Amino acid sequence: MTRNSRPLSLRIPEPSGRPGDAPDFSHLKLDVAGAVDRPAVDARPVQMLDLAFRLVRVLDDQGQAVGPWNPRLDPETLKKGLRAMILTRALDDRMHRAHRQGKTSFYMKCTGEEAIAVAQGMILSREDMGFPTYRQQGLLIARGYPLVEMMNQIYSNASDPIKGRQLPIMYSAKDYGFFTISGNLGTQVPQAVGWAMASAYKGDDKIAITWIGDGATAEGDFHNALTFAAVYRAPVILNIVNNQWAISSFQGIAGGLETTFASKAIGYGLPALRVDGNDFLAVWAATQWAEERARSNQGATVIELFTYRGAPHSTSDDPSRYRPGDEAEKWPLGDPIARLKQHLIALGEWTDDAHAEAEAEAVAQVRAAGKAAEAVGTLGQSRPSVKTMFEDVFATEDWRLVEQRREVGV
């Protein structure tokens, strides 16, 4: 036996900055826009290993779309995406305030991550199924889900589509391709794989898409999902939204200092893409690549969407206690809304005035929906009938539920 010359020491990963420090992103290696090759959709995973460590970007610092990943979207599609992102942010702002005003118990913003769910919600159809975690509200908004329904859910009021049963923002919207959200992290990923397997089993053409945060990739469910996706070649897009923070734990606590999250796919034999999540065009292009692959029966793709959680984890969180105060503003990949706006202006398709107008329209739309939802009632002012508490446990109530419902007197 060889003895150590020095005692062992335990390494605990630490982020590059804490409150009071200046934000430090010098450790990030960010490819410039257009620098990363686009493999053929039928490339074998082993032929594209480097993409797990690079960063697919399309929009350059001047707002030009460059390089092989440029999806060449028409201006109307870009404007639709921009408006959906603006509306998502306006909803977040109002609901965050609604929480501060005591109208609901909880809220989670997706500030800085709007491009992801909006672009992906536009690419896939409602017939496909999304298995979201909790910052994909942009998917519902991109597909025109009524804002008032989202608010009714957030208020758990009498018109809540899921009858006051879930914490605010845990939406379920089957007709919009949005699976019921679980608060238990990571469980949705292997479920998405199973759903995709079912589509293949039936010989249908539908695919599944799912999202997990950087922190939750440490859950066994994620790794089980990748095994199943690879083994059965499931038509599913497996997104890892790396927003750098899992509540107060930086991504290094989930293994992000050792390797990229995208590279987790390599060991499972799945293709991996690592993408600038604040670049609407890059998100679009990567998702389209994965979609083509899935629809042509070539199986799953893992996409790491590299972004930054601009807001607190939730209304119960205060990031000033664990990260530099201005880290979000200093994020080197910018704000996805500002970047798409810049691109549209560079194309001559958008102006500052048009943007201000779009923002005002979004605020008005949210305000109108807010009034409608508040007319039904905010949390505690209005709620579904108490007897509904005993419904939907099973397809039919058993005697216990009948007795317990009577005990409540309903």
Partner 1 sequence: MNSAAKWGSDPMSEQTFTDTDRTDGIEPDMVDQDAAPASIAPEGPAIQPMNMIQALNSALHVKMAEDPNVLSFGEDAGYFGGVFRVTDQLQQKHGLTRSFDAPISECGIVAAAIGMGAYGLRPVVEIQFADYIYPAYDQIVSEAAKIRYRSAGQFTAPLVVRSPYGGGIFGGQTHSQSPESLFTHIAGLKVVIPSNPYDAKGLLTAAIEDDDPVIFLEPKRLYNGPFDGWHQKPVSPWKTQALAQVPTGKHVEPIGKARVMREGTDVTILCYGTMVWVSLAGAEHAGVDAEVIDLRTLVPLDIDTIEASVKKTGRCIIVHEAPKTSGYGAELSALVQERCFYHLEAPVTRVCGWDTPYPHAFEWEYFPGPERVATALKAVMAGGSR
List residues binding partner 1 (CB under 8 A): 129, 131, 161-163, 165-166, 170, 172-174, 179-180, 182, 184, 187, 189-199, 201-202, 208, 220-221, 224-225, 227-228, 231, 392-395, 398-400
CA 182 vs. chain centroid, Å, equals 14
How far is CA 371 from each of CA 176, 191, 226, 365, 377, rounded to the nearest angstrom? 24, 36, 44, 10, 9
- What is the closest distance, in whole angstroms, from the C-beta atom of residue 42 to partner 1 in the complex? 23
**Residue where the block lists tokens 């987790």:** 264
- Which helix (DSSP H) or strand (DSSP E) does residue 76 occupy? helix 75-100
Instruction: Report the distance separating Cα 60 and Cα 368, nearest Å.
Output: 37
* Nearest Cα to Cα of residue 190 among 210, 214, 215: 210
Instruction: Report the distance separating Cα 115 and Cα 285, nearest Å.
Output: 12
How does DSSP classify residue 320? Answer: G
Kindly tell me which of 230 and 362 has the beta carbon lying closer to partner 1. 230
Which 3 state secondary structure label does DSSP give 54?
A: coil
Instruction: Report the distance separating Cα 222 and Cα 239, nearest Å.
Output: 11
Q: Roughly what angle, to the nearest 10 degrees, separates helices 280-295 and 75-100?
A: 110
- What is the closest distance, in whole angstroms, from the C-beta atom of residue 303 to partner 1 in the complex? 19
Instruction: Report the distance separating Cα 255 and Cα 244, nearest Å.
Output: 11
- What is the closest distance, in whole angstroms, from the C-beta atom of residue 105 to partner 1 in the complex? 16
- Output phi, psi for 246, to 5 deg: -110, 100
Kindly tell me which of 171 and 245 has the beta carbon lying closer to partner 1. 171
Kindly tell me which of 282 and 302 has the beta carbon lying closer to partner 1. 302
- What is the closest distance, in whole angstroms, from the C-beta atom of residue 172 to partner 1 in the complex? 4
Kindly tell me which of 82 and 189 has the beta carbon lying closer to partner 1. 189
DSSP string, 367-381: HHHHHHHHHH--BTT
Instruction: Report the distance separating Cα 145 and Cα 176, nearest Å.
Output: 7
Instruction: Report the distance separating Cα 64 and Cα 283, nearest Å.
Output: 15
Kindly tell me which of 367 and 400 has the beta carbon lying closer to partner 1. 400
- What is the closest distance, in whole angstroms, from the C-beta atom of residue 173 to partner 1 in the complex? 8
Kindly tell me which of 178 and 280 has the beta carbon lying closer to partner 1. 178
- What is the closest distance, in whole angstroms, from the C-beta atom of residue 395 to partner 1 in the complex? 4
- What is the closest distance, in whole angstroms, from the C-beta atom of residue 192 to partner 1 in the complex? 6
Kindly tell me which of 115 and 189 has the beta carbon lying closer to partner 1. 189
Kindly tell me which of 16 and 182 has the beta carbon lying closer to partner 1. 182
Q: Which residues contact 12 (CB under 8 A, 6 or more apart)?
A: none
- What is the closest distance, in whole angstroms, from the C-beta atom of residue 195 to partner 1 in the complex? 4
Kindly tell me which of 60 and 149 has the beta carbon lying closer to partner 1. 149
- What is the closest distance, in whole angstroms, from the C-beta atom of residue 391 to partner 1 in the complex? 8
